[in-house]
Amino acid sequence: MKVLVAVKRVVDYNVKVRVKSDNTGVDITNVKMSMNPFDEIAIEEAVRLKEKGVVTEIIAVSAGVTQCQETLRTAMAIGADRAILVETSEELQPLAVAKLLKALIDKEQPGLIILGKQAIDDDCNQTGQMLAALAELPQATFASKIEVADGKARVTREIDGGLETISVSLPAVITADLRLNEPRYVTLPNIMKAKKKPLEVIKPEDLGVDVSPRIKTLKVCEPPKRSAGIKVADVAALVDKLKNEAKVI
């Protein structure tokens, strides 16, 4: 079975972004970029399924600027077999990415599609669900455990109040939550090997997809600042402040 995994290049999770002074967006020049952490978990899960013999081939896909090739090389260093970049400098929104992935599903016919549940830049949490809808596939979002057997995936999902297990027939779209696995560190030999793996670059037009944005960003601002309060000396002082100053207890 083939598995397709989507990966996004985002500002590294350790970077505290700054809003541009003209309020048009956040400043990402000379900022460290990495693979979206949830997508790293998605790739790791695909590699584990391959190690178990469930999956035969892992295709990593990304959409965006030329530099996304680095993200795809990382995916291949973790264990993806080949990669496809849909290259465009257009701002890509989840619906557009879902349409690109849908076109690639039609072409590649994977038995399973895994994505991260959310990208940590736009925090949308949409692409997997949209892809499932467009491809008429069942979805299992926020996965913390995946077992594949007999043409089905049994997926444990993180929901409000606890966990839920559903069974989806394959092909299906699964989105990875934090606790699905802990991604391995990429080793130097695997980074070298990844450089030799095939990476195909195509354009949205090749897939016949219109990626123009539906949602316009009018401005981006700093959030209201919360200023630090005071340090209290001991528990008694804390109780006094909560009771008499903040009046919250």
Partner 1 sequence: MTSLVIAEHDNASLKAATLNTVTAALQCGAEVHVLVVGANAAAAAAAAAQVAGVTKVLHADGEPFAHALAENITAQILTVAQNYSHIVFPATASGKNIAPRVAAKLDVGQISDVTQVISPDTFERPIYAGNAMATVQSGDAIKVITVRTTGFDAAPASGGSASIEALSAVAASDKTTFVGSEIAKNDRPELTAAKVIVSGGRALGSSEKFAEIMTPLADKLGAALGASRAAVDAGYAPNDWQVGQTGKIVAPQLYIAAGISGAIQHLAGMKDSKVIVAINKDPEAPIFSVADYGLEADLFVAIPELVAKL
Q: Which segment (16-24, 57-65, 69-77, 194-202) binds partner 1 by CB under 8 A? A: 16-24
Nearest Cα to 202, choosing from 76, 87, 62, 72? Answer: 87
Other Cβ atoms closer than 10 A to 166: 15
Q: How far is the CB of 155 from partner 1 (least distance, A)?
A: 9
How far, CA to CA in Å, does 113 sit from each of 28, 152, 237?
Answer: 29, 13, 55
Q: Which segment (48-56, 134-142, 191-199, 201-209) binds partner 1 by CB under 8 A? A: 134-142
Q: How far is the CB of 90 from partner 1 (least distance, A)?
A: 14
Hey, which residues between 166 and 195 contact partner 1 (CB under 8 A)? 166-169, 172, 177-179
Between CA 212 and CA 97 the distance in angstroms is 10
Q: Which segment (55-63, 71-79, 87-95, 199-207) binds partner 1 by CB under 8 A? A: 87-95
Residue environment code for 156-165, b if the CB has 16+ CB neighbours within 10 A, otherwise e: bbbeeeeeee
Between CA 128 and CA 173 the distance in angstroms is 7
Candidates 53, 149, 162, 185: give the one binding partner 1 (CB under 8 A): 162
Q: How far is the CB of 168 from partner 1 (least distance, A)?
A: 5
Between CA 4 and CA 170 the distance in angstroms is 13
80 or 113: CB nearest partner 1: 113
What is the contact mask toward partner 1 in residues 221 to 240, using x (rule: CB under 8 A)? xxx--x-xxxxx-xxx-xx-
Q: Which segment (42-50, 84-92, 183-191, 207-215) binds partner 1 by CB under 8 A? A: 207-215
Between CA 222 and CA 205 the distance in angstroms is 36
Residue environment code for 110-123, b if the CB has 16+ CB neighbours within 10 A, otherwise e: bbbbbbbbbbbbee
Backbone angles phi, psi at 119, to 5 degrees: -95, 140
Sign of CA dihedral 85, 86, 89, 92: negative
| 208 touches partner 1 by CB under 8 A | no
Whether a cis peptide bond, with omega within 30° of 0, leads into 37 is no
| 249 touches partner 1 by CB under 8 A | yes
Hey, which residues between 93 and 122 contact partner 1 (CB under 8 A)? 93-95, 98, 117-118, 120-122
Candidates 4, 11, 72, 207: give the one binding partner 1 (CB under 8 A): 11
Q: How far is the CB of 134 from partner 1 (least distance, A)?
A: 5
Candidates 141, 180, 181, 207: give the one binding partner 1 (CB under 8 A): 141
Q: How far is the CB of 89 from partner 1 (least distance, A)?
A: 19
Q: How far is the CB of 14 from partner 1 (least distance, A)?
A: 9
| 147 touches partner 1 by CB under 8 A | no
